[in-house]
A and B are shown apart, each in its own frame.
Chain A
Amino acid sequence: EPEVTQTPSHQVTQMGQEVILRCVPISNHLYFYWYRQILGQKVEFLVSFYNNEISEKSEIFDDQFSVERPDGSNFTLKIRSTKLEDSAMYFCASRETSGRAQETQYFGPGTRLLVL
């Protein structure tokens, strides 16, 4: 069964450093998403991406965040200057669109980011 993959599974970084989280969505999917989950809290939407541009973003997704689809397979989330509060599990998700609202969104296994 096709699945969303993410690398790395864990990343430890120093405050102020840049990190890039990588995702490979399911190959025929057209919508891509990033979510995060701070330990003990709910899963929060960050950004959605379609047709090589951001379609929607949350208040969390400020100027420190950016997304890119550099080639036909990868989808990346960059945090330019990490803060302590960026420590969280980051999930990538993708969705094949057939126009049905009830389309399933598939999540990757996540990258656990720890900012020290």
Chain B
Amino acid sequence: RKEVEQDPGPFNVPEGATVAFNCTYSNSASQSFFWYRQDCRKEPKLLMSVYSSGNEDGRFTAQLNRASQYISLLIRDSKLSDSATYLCGMGDSWGKLQFGAGTQVVVTP
């Protein structure tokens, strides 16, 4: 089983719609959880950290389920600029991040 798994997509989303996707992880010792956004051939950019209680940043909501070992990301009111690949990242105590292969989101007019 892969350490971090994501549905590669693409998720084709009409502008204004909601899209949600998950990321599962196998290392129960993971200490920190993140969603990064990666545009084509660019560096990963932090979208948001994910906390046990769940957290929201504008149109983005992230959840962590430690018991089932997954995190989720929900994007409301999708914009064309949300089109990107979304990477989940799991951190250990030294900060090493293990990434999933990414979920591609394509927002269409």
Residues of A within 8 A of B (CB): 31, 33, 35, 41-45, 48, 50, 55-56, 89, 91, 93, 95, 97, 101-110, 112
Contact = CB atoms under 8 A, between A and B. Distances in A.
Contacts of B74: none
Contacts of A45: 96-98
Given A31-B94, A102-B32, A43 B49 contact: no
Contact of B95 (A44, A105, A108, A112): A105
Contacts, number: 64
Given A42-B101, A42-B102, A107 B95 contact: no
Pairs of residues from A and B, 3 with the lowest C-beta to C-beta distance, nearest first? A107-B43, A42-B101, A101-B31
Given A33-B95, A42-B101, A109-B43, 16 more contacts: A31-B95, A42-B87, A42-B100, A43-B97, A44-B99, A56-B94, A101-B31, A101-B32, A101-B91, A102-B51, A103-B95, A105-B46, A105-B97, A106-B46, A108-B43, A109-B42
Nearest to A94: B95
Interface of B: 31-34, 38, 41-46, 49, 51, 87, 91-102
Contacts of A95: 95
21 contacts: A31-B94, A31-B95, A35-B97, A42-B101, A43-B44, A43-B99, A45-B97, A45-B98, A48-B96, A56-B92, A56-B96, A95-B95, A97-B95, A101-B32, A101-B93, A102-B32, A103-B32, A104-B46, A105-B95, A107-B43, A112-B41
